[in-house]
């Protein structure tokens, strides 16, 4: 790798400090989700619906014991296990992801996706249900919450990124178990050559100490 390539990679890389700042997005989004649910419990539970836009959207308190948008009701083991598996996969991807600007969109999308999964997981562990409160009455859409918005939007953006932005080789880091640098190859060759030369010198020293003549192949070839 030449100097210009190294300089380009250094310019394109994201420092660990900036990565830590970006990671703060995760707790911030989770706290926002939990805060909106807390407000829903305080002001909407056992209260009439709050109309935001008549006939379009309103706030309505619902305790959802299923998955997103009311599916998979009363399946708590599965509903807790699946988010945990998703979060483990996201952590693995973020850990293996190269710290370059090219992967910044994927990095941010995975953080938002993890925030949504974590926000609803907290509710399921603490209450065995998720608080939903946003209702689009115009299309009679199932009641949802802020964490559902995180999951839905980030999943859609991630699909678009994988289809139109990233190529197959861009996700090779997920399968890579060991990085092999091309620069290491000549070093290994040089070490092998040096080892062989050292062995020859040792043999020559032993022959000289024993009083045996040195084996000069080149000279013998010349006389022939």
pLDDT in tens, 143-164: 999 999 999 999 999 999 999 9
By annotation, the residues acting in catalysis are 132, 148
Q: Any idea where the domains of the chain sit in the sequence?
A: 14-174, 184-223
Question: Is residue 87's pLDDT more than 70?
Answer: yes
Enumerate the H helices of the chain as residue ranges: 3-12, 16-23, 25-43, 76-96, 104-127, 146-164, 184-210, 217-223
| Tokens 């109309």, located at residue | 51
What region does 114 belong to: left with phi over 0, alpha with psi -120 to 50, or beta? Answer: alpha
Q: What is the pLDDT of residues 114-148, one digit of tens each?
A: 999 999 999 999 998 999 999 999 998 889 999 99
Q: Angle CA(180)–CA(183)–CA(184) in degrees, nearest 5?
A: 60
- Model pLDDT, residue 67: 67
The model carries a pTM of 0.70
Average pLDDT over every residue of 13-22:
75
Q: Tens digits of per-residue pLDDT, 40-79? A: 999 999 999 999 999 999 999 999 887 655 556 667 778 8
pLDDT confidence bin for 217, thresholds 50/70/90: very low
The 3-state secondary structure of 100-166, one letter per residue: EHHHHHHHHHHHHHHHHHHHHHHHHHHHCCEEEEEECCCCCCCCECHHHHHHHHHHHHHHHHHHHCC
- Judged against a pLDDT cut of 70, whether residue 174 lies above it is answered with yes
Longest dimension (CA), the chain: 111
Instruction: Give the residue from 205, 202, 90 showing the smallest Cα distance to 151.
Output: 90
Evaluate if residue 6 carries a pLDDT over 50. Answer: no
Give tens-digit pLDDT for 204-214: 666 666 665 55
Q: Are 87 and 70 a contacting pair, CB within 8 Å?
A: no
């Amino acid at each position: 790798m030449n100097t210009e390539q190294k300089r380009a990679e250094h310019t394109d890389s994201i420092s660990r400090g900036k990565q830590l700042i970006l990671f703060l997005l995760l707790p911030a989004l989770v706290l926002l989700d939990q805060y909106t649910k807390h407000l829903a419990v305080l002001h909407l539970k056992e209260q009439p619906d709050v109309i935001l836009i008549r006939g379009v959207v309103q706030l309505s308190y619902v305790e959802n014991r299923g998955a997103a948008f009311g599916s998979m009701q009363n399946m708590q083991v599965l509903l807790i296990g699946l988010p945990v598996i998703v979060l483990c996969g996201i952590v693995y991807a973020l850990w293996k992801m190269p710290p370059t600007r090219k992967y910044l969109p994927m990095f941010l999308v995975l953080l938002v996706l993890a925030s949504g999964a974590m926000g609803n997981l907290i509710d399921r562990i603490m209450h065995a249900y998720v608080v939903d409160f946003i209702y689009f009455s115009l299309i009679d859409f199932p009641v949802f919450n802020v964490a559902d918005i995180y999951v839905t939007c980030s999943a859609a953006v991630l699909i678009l990124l994988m289809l139109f932005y990233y190529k197959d080789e861009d996700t090779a880091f997920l399968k890579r178990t060991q990085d092999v640098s091309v620069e290491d190859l000549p070093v290994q060759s040089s070490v092998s050559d040096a080892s062989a030369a050292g062995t020859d010198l040792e043999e020559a020293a032993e022959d000289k100490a024993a009083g045996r003549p040195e084996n000069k192949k080149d000279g013998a070839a010349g006389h022939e």
